[in-house]
Structure 1
Amino acid sequence: MFRNYNFKKYDIFLILIVIALVSFGIKAIGSATQINSDGSTYVRNKQLFGFIVTFALMIIISLIDYHFIGKFYWLIYAFNIILLIAVLFLGVKVKGAVRWINIAGIQLQPSELSKIMMVIFLAKYIDKNKEKINNLLFLIKLGILVIIPTLLIYKQPDLSTSLVLLVILVVLLFVAGISYKYVLIALAIAVPLFFGTVWYMQQPDTVFSDHQVERVMSFLYPEKYDTMQTDNSIQAIGSGQLNGKGWYKGTINKYNYLPEPQTDFIFSVIGEEAGFIGCSIVLLLLLFLIIKCLWIAKDSIDLFGMLIISGFVAIISFQTFVNVGVTTGLIPNTGIPLPFISYGLSSLMSNMIGIGVILNISLHRKTTYY
């Protein structure tokens, strides 16, 4: 479980990037939920406390051999499914969605933890069956194992997070060396299916919920649908110009024109109050985080470690693209947190666990660098 590590390989730079991102996020959350001029809000302080706790958790996990964690991959998968099923029966309804459960007085969002649990499970499962990566029966079995939690998350409803699990699967299969034959077959199915789904959503009486259909239609036909949320978000980002209006001085955010400014639209708050420079700093920090993780993956001693990091990078990259894409009007409106920046203790815990595992992988890597 614990080993005598060479702590010269402990990646301090990765930790500093995470601290910088979360610090920026806490500042933005304080501004997004401001009650008074100094931003001393309950939500900001709760996120700060959550960071302190999850940072300690990250350090502890970083000292546990990731191969030891991998031994429990089926248990991790089962625990994931149990939590997601518990949401259906014991979930707390917030703003029309049932995504949270209360455990010992703590409100937890299992779908957020599901992402990192599925990364560990899939990485180990694929690693143990790497010789079957191009076996059709194995791929079908793998697909079923991913579809189960995906559908459970979709029923909450949480379409964006369920898509994250599919992205993780695709990335891990690609990294594991799946044949391009299957890649081409998948594209041949996915592209027509995508356009067919868009067409189907425009028909009456679809299986999709009204708000899901409206979000897609408002993106395709903005002149016919209410696009106030997206318009306000773009206006907030643009109004910040180069340097921003200053923290706690964003008028669009201050007068509640942004929906969920501390979570889904946190990037809009940063754009208005920290300007183009603030937005660039956040995106560069996330880019540095991704590059640093991929650099560690390059020197990983085995496929298991490489797949874990690749899955985590897939989560960070996809969520960043979707969150920023929504706030800038590039893609349809959907709720997904900006990693390490948006408010949400479950999301923060999931990300910090991921960093902890990656730090342990870095302790096993082939080379020492700073």
Structure 2
Amino acid sequence: MNLYEDKFRFLNYNLKKYNWRLLLLVIAATTLGLFVIESAADGYARKQLLGMIVGLIALVIVSFIDYNFILKFQWPIYLMAVVMLTAVLFFGVNVNGARRWFSLGSFGTLQPSEFAKIMMIIVLTRLIVDHRDQISQLKSLIMIGIIYIIPVFLIYKEPNMSTTLVFLFIFVMMIFCGGLSYRFIGRVCLFTVPILGFLVWYIQQPFQVLLHGYQLNRILAFLNPSEYQQTTANQQYNSVMAIGSGMINGKGLNNNTITSVKGGNFISEQQTDFIFSVIGEELGFIGSCITILLLAAIVFECLKVAKNASNMSGRLIASGIASMIAFQSFVNIGVATNLLPNTGLPLPFISYGLSALLANMVGIGLVINIDLQKGRR
């Protein structure tokens, strides 16, 4: 292969190998989200539709760029992520005491942490690959962890505990997929299990400093729901009522009857963190199952691409994207059904949020490119 062919080889993909199944699953999930967002609140669906169009364009473009080429820009990508997350702490919009967004005027807001997820998956991939032979050595893990924890700490300071947990989950899963030895995992578990037990006790003490007041109240409301049913736990209680009231077939989209939990305005911001309550109430058990199956199928396709990737880099990126979508889906639905403490994570491709939608689309574009690279030299 000559220099010219090597430089432009990303233009020579065989479209027959394009992962149309994954693309169609993403389009189906996003389209479902459009209908549910339109039903949940007025004025958001048009913006989400615009985000869907821009996101699909970005997905297609990224899917034809060699991910191995992108990995060469590991440090510029890392620096960009750190700069964005630092800048938002000083110049971001303050909403309820948190600085997580840049104001774009009439275009809405931009949330750097959503894009930082994809950027850090790329950076972490390169770090793991470069240290694959020493991945189970404590020195290598500490070095990788220090680099990774800087943007995570900046997100924690916004404050944004839910996204911080997403980053930590991605780190654990990618390190595991990178070849971390089971012996090392066992040793870590021996230390982490008692530490987690201590943390559960510690955060309930009046002198704890790890969590903000609203974060602590959400955890305490989950542990003691009867004491917080009329306050902090009220949102989740109403969400469960909404999902249960939908029964098998649901009440139908755009249902605003007085008997509707959504129509009675008992849940705030349903188009974002509690979008699953709208799905449960208006599309019923069947619609809820379809939503879960769509998201599960997207995760499965990403894992399938990871399994068949041509190198470790592709396997790690696809695994990172899969773990991100899976964790956010699990937590969002778990919160809406009161199986987990209340935390603000959007449902991938379904919830309203242009930054999250665009970032997820870019992530899927990377996964499709990894699949296109399969079998190529």
Correspondences of 1:175-214 after superposition (within 5 Å): 175-207=177-209, 208-214=211-217
> Within the alignment, does 1:249 sit opposite 2:250 as a pair?
no
Residue aligning to 1:288: 297
Cα deviation for residue 181 of structure 1 reads: 2.2
How far apart are the structure 2 equivalents of 1:58 and 1:194?
Answer: 39
Rounded to whole Å, the distance in 2 between the matches of 1:113 and 1:186 is 30
TM, length-normalised to structure 2: 0.93
What one-letter code is carried by the residue in structure 2 that aligns with 1:269? V
Output the amino acid matched with 1:141: M
Q: Which runs of structure 1 show a deviation greater than 4 angstroms over 4 or more consecutive aligned residues?
A: 103-106
Name the SS for the 2:99 alignment partner: strand
Q: Deviations over 1:294-348 (max 9, x none)?
A: 1111211000000000000110110011001001011111110101000000100
Q: How does 1:1-370 map to 2 (within 5 A)?
A: 2-33=10-41, 41-102=42-103, 106=107, 107-207=109-209, 208-225=211-228, 226=231, 227-250=233-256, 251-366=260-375
Indicate conservation of the 8 Å contact 1:3/1:65, yes or no.
no
Aligned to 2:254, the other structure's residue is in SS state coil
- The one-letter code matched in structure 1 to 2:60 is I
Letter in 2 for 1:185: R
User: Would you say the 8 A contact 1:270–1:279 is kept in 2?
Assistant: yes
Counterpart-to-counterpart distance in 2, 1:104 and 1:269: 29
**Structure 2: runs of 5+ lacking an equivalent:** 1-7
Q: CA deviation at 1:51?
A: 0.5
Please tell me the residue identity of whatever aligns with 2:187.
I
Q: Tell me the TM-score normalised to structure 1 length.
A: 0.95
Q: Distance in 1 between matches of 2:15 and 2:131?
A: 32
Deviations 1:191-233 (A, max 9, x none): 2222211111111132121111111111111122232111100
- Alignment-derived partner of residue 36 in structure 1: none
**Partner AA of 2:58 in structure 1:** L
**In structure 2, how many angstroms separate the alpha carbons of the residues matched to 1:161 and 1:193?**
21
Q: Distance in 1 between matches of 2:308 and 2:341?
A: 38
What is the aligned length?
A: 360
Give how far 1:3 is off. Answer: 3.4
| Cα distance per residue 1:217-258 (max 9 Å; x no partner) | 111111222321111000000000000000011521122111
- Say which is worse superposed, 58-67 or 358-367, in terms of deviation: 358-367
Offset at residue 103 of structure 1 (A): 5.2
* Aligned residue type for 1:248: N
Looking at structure 1, the residues matched to 104 and 49 of structure 2 have their Cα atoms a distance apart, in angstroms, of: 20
Given that 1:86 and 1:101 are in contact with CA atoms closer than 8 Å, whether structure 2 keeps it comes out as no
1:184 Cα deviation from its structure 2 partner: 1.4
SS in 2 for 1:99: strand
| Deviation string, structure 1 residues 67-111 (Cα, Å, up to 9, x no partner) | 111100111111000000001110101233210013586521011
1:37 alignment partner in structure 2: none
Q: More displaced, 341-350 or 141-150?
A: 141-150
Equivalent AA in structure 1 for residue 55 of structure 2: T
Q: The residue matched to 2:345 in structure 1 has which SS?
A: coil
CA contact (8 A) 1:120 1:308 kept: yes
CA distance in structure 1 between the aligned counterparts of 2:219 and 2:175, rounded to whole angstroms? 29
* 1:6-40 CA distance string (max 9 Å, x none): 1111011111000000000111111110xxxxxxx
- Which residue matches 2:3? none
Distance 1:338 1:198 in 2: 26
Q: Is the 8 A contact 1:241 1:275 kept in 2?
A: yes
Distance 2:198 2:219 in 1: 13
Identity of aligned residues (%): 48
Q: Deviations over 1:108-160 (max 9, x none)?
A: 10111111111111112211221121221110011111211111101111101
Q: Which runs of 5+ in 1 are unaligned?
A: 34-40
SS in 1 for 2:226: coil
Matching residue's letter, 2:30: V
Q: For residues 150-174 of structure 1, what are the alpha-carbon distances to aligned partners after superposition, in whole Å with 9 as ceiling and x for unaligned? A: 1110111110100111111111111
> Hey, what's the Cα distance between the residues in 1 that align with 2:145 and 2:22?
33
Distance 1:256 1:104 in 2: 28
